[in-house]
């Protein structure tokens, strides 16, 4: 099914194309002078850091289980440590939202 456009719409499109062609500006650079590398590659850096963290956690878990730690005790310690680590962030970043 083909849609018909009016002559006014076609003229407006042609005018927009002409205006865009005559006033073309270069696109903004993906890197800036003030920390462009970190801004551009922030998601990649964070993914790599997360993978390093998971790898470290895996080695600690394997070492703990090989030395005879009960998995239930390990999970309890893990939750306690995560709560202690997250508490300052939750307290200082979320205290004005309530």
pLDDT in tens, the chain (98 residues): 455 555 555 555 555 555 555 555 555 555 455 567 778 889 999 999 999 999 999 999 999 999 999 999 999 999 999 999 999 999 998 888 76
- In this predicted structure, what is the pLDDT of residue 1? 46
Give me the sign of the Cα torsion angle 79, 81, 82, 87.
positive
Show the tokens assigned to 7.
């002559």
Domain boundary assignment for the chain: 41-98
91 in Cβ contact with 81 (< 8 Å): no
Does this model's pTM top 0.85? My answer is no
Name every residue whose Cβ is closer than 8 Å to that of residue 38 and which is 6 or more positions away in sequence: 45
Name every residue whose Cβ is closer than 8 Å to that of residue 61 and which is 6 or more positions away in sequence: 74
């Amino acid at each position: 099914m083909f849609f018909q456009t009016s002559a006014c719409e076609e003229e407006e499109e042609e005018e927009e194309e002409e205006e865009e062609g005559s006033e073309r500006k270069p696109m903004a650079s993906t890197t800036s002078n003030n920390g462009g590398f970190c801004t551009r590659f922030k998601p990649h850096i964070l993914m790599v850091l997360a993978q390093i963290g998971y790898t470290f956690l895996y080695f600690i878990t394997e070492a703990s289980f090989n030395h005879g730690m009960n998995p239930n005790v390990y999970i309890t310690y893990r939750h306690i440590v995560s709560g202690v680590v997250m508490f300052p962030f939750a307290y200082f970043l979320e205290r004005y939202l309530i």
